[in-house]
Structure 1
Amino acid sequence: MGFTLDQEAIQYISYFENISGATIDDCVVMEDDKIVFIVKKGQAGLAIGKRGSNIKKAQRDLKKEIEIIENGETPEDLIKNSLAPADVTDVTISTSNEGKDVAFVKVPQKQRGIAIGKGGSKIDRCRRLVQRHFEIDEVILTKS
């Protein structure tokens, strides 16, 4: 469950902790240039700030879109948090015949689009985060 932060991520974390007062557990710069901060459990509100003030300031200063996800103690929690506001009804993690850990995520049919995100961005981000934090190889959406 180890991952490394590059210099850019360390700088973003330092900056965002200073303006928000929240503890940042991880920072990932996505392919679409969005910065995703993983905040300590229970600190999402502190990170966002009143009426989104911390997000707005960071977006202005860094000229990048900012997203906050609350960390989870388990892969199931992190998956649910990263796919919000989609209603994840169940997460089952199993090992495939090839020895890969796979998370099967149940989402109601009407909310699959929310869970997938524009161009698959939300589900891709979820896959990347659970791979990084819990070494889950794949995340597959199933019908609830």
Structure 2
Amino acid sequence: MAKVRLTTEEIMKIGFFEKIANVPILDCVLNDERVAFIVKEGDVGAAIGKGGENVKTAEEKFGKKVDIIEYSDDWRKFIRNIFAPIHLEDVWVKRVGKDVVAFIKVSPRSRKAIFGEKGKNLERALEILKRHTKITKIKVIVEKPKPKKRRPRRSFKEQKEETQENETKQVDGQ
């Protein structure tokens, strides 16, 4: 993991959160409406606190939503952690030319949540990945919904015959 340069504001937020959560924070990424703290693998539960109390306290103090993201050396797992609780169909990382690209396959229902308003969620994810991995780009693949199996169409004549057959069975059965 590369050294991360922090702003004064990020350092202050880390200091506050480390005091209330009693967990070392690896990184802090800020944007207009969110604060994301990156914690070591296994520390996410302690960072959140019982009943989410640490997160609630931090949200009140900062006036922003607080996300706790569990770091992992496994880049695919780390990407899943960044986007949690959104379900990712598949994640893989591949070198494309000079870039290391993270491919994320999602269902059409998850697309909006992955991108966020004006792509903010994707921007934040890429910023976190650039700070902690060699990943330089994210490509989102929206999985097309599987078509429903349809019964073959029957002609009007076949439908009429079937209806008559069922009516005959009902009459004979009584």
| TM-score calculated relative to the size of structure 2 | 0.74
Secondary structure of the equivalent of 1:115? helix
CA contact (8 A) 2:44 2:69 kept: yes
Q: Which residue of 2 aligns with 1:109?
A: 108
Q: Map of 1:69-84 to 2, 5 A cutoff? A: 69-84=69-84
Larger-Rg structure: 2
Alignment partner of 1:19 is 2:20? yes
Residue type of the alignment partner of 1:100:
D
Which structure would you say has the larger RCO, counting Cα contacts within 8 Å and 6 or more residues apart? 1
Residues of 1 paired with 2:51 and 2:120: CA distance?
A: 25
Count residues with an aligned counterpart.
142
Residues 58-116 of structure 1: CA deviation (Å, up to 9, x unaligned): 1222233222111121221221111112212322212223x111111112222222222
Q: Which residue of 1 aligns with 2:134?
A: 135
Residue type of the alignment partner of 2:118:
G
Residue type of the alignment partner of 1:129:
I
Residues of 2 paired with 1:110 and 1:57: CA distance?
A: 32
CA contact (8 A) 1:84 1:115 kept: no
Alignment partner of 1:48 is 2:35? no
Residues of 2 paired with 1:10 and 1:74: CA distance?
A: 26
Residues of 2 paired with 1:15 and 1:65: CA distance?
A: 15
| TM-score calculated relative to the size of structure 1 | 0.87
CA contact (8 A) 2:4 2:27 kept: no
CA contact (8 A) 1:106 1:142 kept: yes
Residues of 2 paired with 1:131 and 1:77: CA distance?
A: 15
Residues of 2 paired with 1:69 and 1:143: CA distance?
A: 24
Q: Quote how far apart the aligned CAs of 1:26 are.
A: 0.6
Residues of 1 paired with 2:5 and 2:114: CA distance?
A: 27
Q: Which residue of 2 aligns with 1:61?
A: 61
Q: Quote how far apart the aligned CAs of 1:33 are.
A: 4.3
- Root-mean-square deviation (CA, aligned residues, Å) is 1.7
